[in-house]
C-alpha cells in the first residue's frame, strides 16, 4: 500500500511540474527569475502536500496493523 502511494505522489509531483512547464511555455514575457520562483514554489508546496499525506498514510497503516 505504501509503495503504491509513493508512486502516486511521484506521478503527481512530476505531473504538476509538467503542467507548470506547459503554462510557462505559452507565456510570452516571463523572466527567468519569475520562472524559477514559480517552479520552486510549486515544487515546495507539492512536496509539502506529499509529505503530509505520506505521514497520515503511515499513521493510518500503523493504526490498522495495531488493531489486527
33, 67 Cβ separation under 8 angstroms: no
Q: Which domain holds residue 44?
A: 2-67
- pLDDT for 67 equals 60
Report the length, in residues, of the chain. 68
Rounded CA-CA distance 9/23 in Å is 21
Q: What is the pLDDT of residues 16-66, one digit of tens each?
A: 878 877 887 887 777 777 777 777 777 777 778 878 888 888 888 777 666
Could you give the number of structural domains in the chain? Answer: 1
Per-residue model confidence (pLDDT) at position 4: 80
Give the pLDDT score at 68: 58
Task: Look at residue 37 in the predicted model and tell me its pLDDT.
Answer: 75
pLDDT at 66: 61
Amino acid at each position: 500500500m505504501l509503495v503504491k502511494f509513493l508512486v502516486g505522489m511521484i506521478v503527481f509531483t512530476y505531473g504538476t511540474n509538467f503542467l507548470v512547464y506547459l503554462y510557462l511555455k505559452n507565456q510570452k514575457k516571463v523572466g527567468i527569475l519569475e520562472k524559477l520562483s514559480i517552479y520552486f514554489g510549486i515544487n515546495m508546496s507539492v512536496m509539502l502536500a506529499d509529505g503530509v499525506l505520506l505521514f497520515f498514510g503511515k499513521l493510518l497503516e500503523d493504526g490498522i496493523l495495531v488493531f489486527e
